[in-house]
Structure 1
Amino acid sequence: MSDDAGRHGPKGEFRRERSTPLPPEEPGRSARSGRITVPGAGVRRRRNGLLLMSVLSVLVLLASGTSWAITGWMSGSINRFDVFGGLSDGDRPDETGGLTFLVIGSDSRDEMSTEDQNALSVGSTPGQRSDSMMLVRLNHERDHLTVVGLPRDLWVDIPGEGEDKINAAYAYGGPGLAVQTVESVTDVRVDHYVEVDFNGFVDVVDALDGIEVCLPEAIQDPKAQLDMEAGTHQVDGVEALAFARTRATARGDLDRIDRQQQVLSAMLDKAMSSQTLSDPGKLTAFLDSSLSSVTVDEGLTTSAINDLAYQMRDLDLKDVTFAQVPISDMDHWTPRGDVALLWDEPAAREMFAAINADRPLEAPEPEAEDDGGKDDEPVPADVGLRVFNGTATPGLGARLDDSFTTAGFNVTDPAENWTDRSVERTEVRYGPGEEALAEYVSGTLPGSETVEDGTLDEGLQVVIGFDYTTFEAPTAPTAQAGAEPEAAPSAPDTTTARDNICA
């Protein structure tokens, strides 16, 4: 999909005038003494509280672990917007114990100079769209984050607008419609909204003195001015933006989500392992870059950020799980003639149900069927048997032998004549512990009976009697005529932030 995101109808685009908050005259200095204020040891120990806000701002670290030291500056620096005011609570998913954030990477160029547009290789497309989307779930215990990437070309139903790619929701109706769309297709309630733009992304990476990324194969994208060989690279903000935005690889948008998750993990690692949080100059530059480029909902107050930072003070990189929605079709032709993505609905439903319930994103357990207290019914391959002809009709044993083999039974030896050639009723003979298998086989031979034979060690014996008329091959317990069995939802591929860093 091109950056212009298609045509979005007569309603026009969502546009918002940005606020222009100002930091103190000399950020990081005490207003009364003029001295640089260094966060105390207790605050530095809470550095992992940065983790939440770094994920929420899509690669922008809000440094909430130290925010109480500069509360006034922080409150005046963050842009806020009434995201949820137009949403009817009765039409939204139910609240759960965890907190879910919708994170938007905005591709607006309207406030960028031509020089900046050229320097960042982002083009000059007017208007504002969501260039990337993530659902970030903080569990009820506040000890784990799950980050799910939503491909911007995902074909969904946008409330009031009809079917379109999911990133078109932002262009149609701004943050409110973006939230409404994500809630309607995932059934996950969004509690908070965070948005960051191109310039903010670049500034934050540069405030960290760059990050390290690694490539399994080379990428060449003239449009993004990106030419990187396979291997490990130290990149600045401009290079990191190109790396995170390019789609010039085999899986397009899906590969891009993987790279965005790698960049986010690298930024987390750099911020938490470097001197950024203890060096006053670096911290001031870092916060100034982060806060001024972020827009959040009105409910995400400074106090709320501080509370979350304290609750999450012990989080580590291993406690952040990344995934993306499972895709069933990467080349879905839309009615208007362009290509979009379709997600795997059963697997997606399972994923978002797990997120709502704060369950790990792993393969679902198969549902147990009500069998009335009986053991699971066997399948033909489980049954070893041998056929004997107890009648005077020649070739009858061989024909039944073939029927069992065709149905998938494990026929151990060719059919033979029984010692008695005048057996009245067909018998399925079994040894100790094999009664269930004998009953299963008897069900394929109308009118037959099961007979326990203590001399049999293993395997069954089928003795054909004069009452034998037909063989009825068994069907799968849940199979329906003409219907394909439904595949169980597969588990999404997941990684942790620690997995994603190059080291």
Structure 2
Amino acid sequence: MNDDNGGRNRPGDGEFRRERSRPIPPGDRRSSRSGRITVPSPAVRRRRAGLVVMSVLSVLVLLASGTSWAITGWMSGTLNRFDVFGGLADGDRPEETGGLTFLVIGSDSRETLAEEDRSALSVGSTPGRRSDTMMLVRLNHERDRITVVGIPRDLWVDIPGEGEDKINAAYAYGGPQLAVRTVESVTDVRVDHYVEVDFSGFVGVVDALGGIEVCLPEAIDDPKAHLDMAAGTHRVDGTEALAFARTRATPRGDLDRIDRQQQVLAAMLDQALSSETLSDPGKLTAFLDSALSSVTVDEGLDTSTINELAYQMRDLDMAAVTFAQVPIADMDFWTPRGDVALLWDEPAARDLFADINADRPITGPSDEPSAPEEEAAEPVPADIRVRVFNGTGTPGLGASLDGSLAGAGFQVPDPASDWSSRDVPATQVRHGAGDAAAAEYVAGTIPGAEVVEDTTLDGEIQIVIGFNYTTFNAPEVEAPEPEESPSAGDAPLTTSTARDNICG
């Protein structure tokens, strides 16, 4: 992406270049009748909120707003363009399935950044181009649901024509075309459109929005990225947001980074809508002008395509945008050349991408049906609240049972007291409608006890000592086995929505 030569790519020159143009901004286009900029009302634009496709960069924020043809036309002409699909043989590509898939690339190229800018952004001076961030964004056939799948940059895959390497090397070897070929070959998902943004473009988007809000469950200290952030909620500018999204100084490295990037995407969209960027023509023009110059798209993402998508998706809600990441089997795979990469959980990954191709919603553990009642875990004393009543009149019997229950681990918040009568023949274990299993468990500790349902009870078990009471048999409770941290391959697919990823 960061190409100093603005011309189109020429065969045989070994470089990929983009066509650039500078149409007149929409701020200079006014209605002949009113003299006003032809932008729909704020109410209309807010009804069209929710699109998170393509990194929630300027083009996607604009899609979400569904603004006028004049603005989308200007935006389309401002974007950098590259012939991504021209060299791909259609017969070697996955079949079209009806949905629309975007490959989103965040490039780590520093070529167009001045030395002082590299220092300010803490991105170093590594030469060449690689894909620092990679996501597949799937828009289903009905245009009412979006799935965003994060692909770790260090995933070890077979790059067509180059052999095995980390997936982000595909971009370095062959630019956007090879990045698309590689992603299609390993996922069997056809890529329809391509979007790329570089470091300065990302910073420009966040700064143009006035910053975003991010959340941290625990502190991060990454001297290399110049990031020292305490746990909690933070308001960050573009430079801080870039460090937040790029750091890998956390226990799960690249996987944690994907989670943070998804949080940043949701925060960008939320900020764009809440800050009225889309409802103010001046702010919108400034926002697009500052952000679009570092965005590259394929030649097929033209004005008519953008307008068509904006219309089709005008009612999409953020709750219909699902984030996930490729399931990982091994986070510490030593490659033949001696460095560490990631291996994905191939069966789980195949299932994930098959769901995407079939436009099936992807779900995490929270969406799975609950276990059948007969498979419910056996009650344990620590979870059962008990109150004792003496129905025999024998002094001290209730207090004795109280002590035995507490010693066995039951909850005994109130001292024993006398029952309303002192001639109860058999010990009763009384319970409310939802506590039958707990009552049966308690009755099993007292020989001869009978279980009685009492609809006035809720969450408490009552033991009424009868004349047949002889002893209390403390239950044997197995010590819980220490929980092992699940390996990457054991971790289930987790998902979240764009709404879930917004702080608060």
From the superposition, tell whether residues 291 and 307 of structure 1 become closer, same or farther in structure 2 (CA, over 3 Å): same
Q: For residues 350-389 of structure 1, what are the structure 2 equivalents within 5 Å? A: 350-362=351-363
| Corresponding residue SS for 2:203 | helix
Check conservation: 1:361, 1:491, Cα contact below 8 A.
Answer: no
- Match in the other structure for 2:401: none
Give 2:53's aligned amino acid.
V
Letter in 1 for 2:22: L
Q: Does 1:287 align with 2:292?
A: no
The 5 A counterparts of 1:307-346 are: 307-346=308-347
Question: 1:271 and 2:272 equivalent?
Answer: yes
Corresponding residue number in structure 1 for 2:131: 130
Q: Which residue of 2 aligns with 1:56?
A: 54
Structure 1 CA distance for aligned equivalents of residues 14 and 323 of structure 2:
30
SS at match of 1:258: helix
For residues 475-490 of structure 1, the aligned pairs below 5 Å read none
Output aligned runs, 1:205-224, within 5 Å: 205-224=206-225
Amino acid in structure 1 at the alignment position of 2:182: T
* Contact 1:38 1:279 survives alignment (8 Å): no
Q: Deviations over 1:328-386 (max 9, x none)?
A: 0000000000000000011001000000011111379xxxxxxxxxxxxxxxxxxxxxx
Say how many residue pairs are matched. Answer: 366
CA distance in 2, matches of 1:61, 1:70: 11
Give 1:30 shift.
2.1
AA aligned opposite 1:235: V
Quote the RMSD (CA, aligned, Å): 2.4
Q: Which amino acid aligns with 2:236?
A: V
Residue 289 of structure 1, CA deviation: 2.5
Residue 16 of structure 2 is matched in structure 1 by 16
Task: Please name the residue that 1:29 is paired with.
Answer: 28
Q: Give the superposition deviation at 1:124.
A: 1.3
1:266-300 deviation digits (Å, cap 9, x = unpaired): 01111122211111111111111332221111111
Measured against aligned partners, the alpha-carbon deviations of 1:81-104 in whole angstroms (never above 9, x if no partner) come to 111111111111111011011110
SS of residue in 2 equivalent to 1:188 = coil
| 1:426-445 map, 5 Å | none
User: Do the aligned partners of 1:36 and 1:280 also contact (CA within 8 Å) in 2?
Assistant: no
Residue 44 of structure 1 and its aligned partner are, at CA, apart by 5.1
Q: SS of the residue aligned with 2:178? A: helix
Q: Does 1:235 align with 2:233?
A: no
**Amino acid corresponding to residue 16 of structure 1 in structure 2:** F
Displacement after TM superposition at 1:260 (Å): 0.2
Matching of residues 383-422 of structure 1 within 5 Å = none
TM-score by length of 2: 0.69
Aligned residue identity for 1:354: D
TM-score normalised over the length of structure 1: 0.69
CA deviation after TM superposition for structure 1 residue 254, in Å: 0.4
Separation in structure 2 between the aligned mates of residue 127 and residue 191 of structure 1, nearest angstrom: 26
Which residue of structure 1 lines up, in the alignment, with residue 204 of structure 2? 203
> What is the rounded CA distance, in whole Å, between the counterparts of 1:216 and 1:169 in structure 2?
33
CA distance in 1, matches of 2:208, 2:132: 22
Residue 246 of structure 1: how far off its partner (Å): 0.5
Alignment-derived partner of residue 433 in structure 1? none
> Is 1:221–1:248's contact at 8 Å kept on the other side of the alignment?
yes
Note closer, same or farther for the CA distance 1:48–1:345 as it changes in structure 2 (3 Å cut): farther
**Residue aligning to 1:150:** 151
CA contact (8 A) 1:23 1:288 kept: no
CA distance in 1, matches of 2:15, 2:127: 11
3-state SS of 2:214 partner: strand
Between the aligned partners of 2:364 and 2:67, the Cα distance in structure 1 is: 38
Structure 1 residues 289-308: aligned runs within 5 Å: 289-308=290-309
Q: Secondary structure at the match of 1:169?
A: helix
- Structure 1 residues 223 and 318, CA, compared in 2 at 3 Å: closer, same or farther? same
SS at match of 1:291: helix
The separation in 2 between residues aligned to 1:307 and 1:272, in whole angstroms, is: 21
Return the letter of the residue paired with 1:164. Answer: D
Offset at residue 22 of structure 1 (A): 2.7
Instruction: Structure 1: state its 5+ residue gaps.
Output: 1-12, 365-487
Match of 1:463 in 2: none
Distance of 1:300 and 1:331 partners within structure 2:
38
Shift of 1:60: 4.2
Distance 1:217 1:82, change over 3 A: same
- Residue identity in the other structure for 1:499: D
Which amino acid is the alignment partner of residue 44 of structure 2? Answer: R
Letter in 1 for 2:237: D
CA contact (8 A) 2:156 2:341 kept: yes
CA contact (8 A) 1:21 1:292 kept: no
User: 1:397-430, CA deviations, whole angstroms, 9 ceiling, x for partnerless residues?
Assistant: xxxxxxxxxxxxxxxxxxxxxxxxxxxxxxxxxx
Mapped contact 1:130–1:170 kept (Cα < 8 A):
yes
Match of 1:258 in 2: 259
Task: Please give the alpha-carbon distance, in whole angstroms, between the structure 1 residues aligned to 2:209 and 2:343.
Answer: 37
Say whether residues 1:111 and 2:109 are aligned partners: no
How far, CA to CA, are the matches of 1:300 and 1:363 in structure 2? 32
The superposition leaves residues 197-235 of structure 1 with CA deviations (integer Å, 9 ceiling, x where unpaired) of 111111111111110001000001111111100000001
Letter in 2 for 1:299: G
Give 1:147 shift. Answer: 0.0
1:55 is displaced (CA, Å) by: 2.7
Specify the SS of the correspondent of 2:319: helix
Whole-Å separation in 2 of the counterparts to 1:176 and 1:49: 33
SS of alignment partner, residue 87 of structure 1:
coil
Give the corresponding residue for 2:39. Answer: 39
Would you say 1:248 and 2:249 are equivalent positions?
yes
Change (3 A) 1:355 1:494: same
Contact 1:47 1:313 in 2 (8 A): no
Q: Deviations over 1:226-267 (max 9, x none)?
A: 110000000111111110011110100000000000000001
Residue 392 (structure 1) aligns with: none
Distance 2:183 2:225 in 1: 28
The residue aligned with 2:183 is 182
Measured in 2, the distance between the counterparts of 1:19 and 1:48 equals: 34
| SS of structure 2 residue aligned to 1:500 | coil
> Offset of 1:191 from its aligned partner?
0.8
Deviating more after overlay: 314-323 vs 59-68: 59-68
Counterparts of 2:86 and 2:215 in 1: how far apart (Å)?
Answer: 42
Query: Which amino acid is 1:56 matched to?
Result: M
Is contact 1:55-1:264 (8 Å) kept?
no
Please give the alpha-carbon distance, in whole angstroms, between the structure 1 residues aligned to 2:27 and 2:235. 28
Alignment CA distance shift 1:322-1:332 (3 Å): same
Q: Deviations over 1:447-466 (max 9, x none)?
A: xxxxxxxxxxxxxxxxxxxx
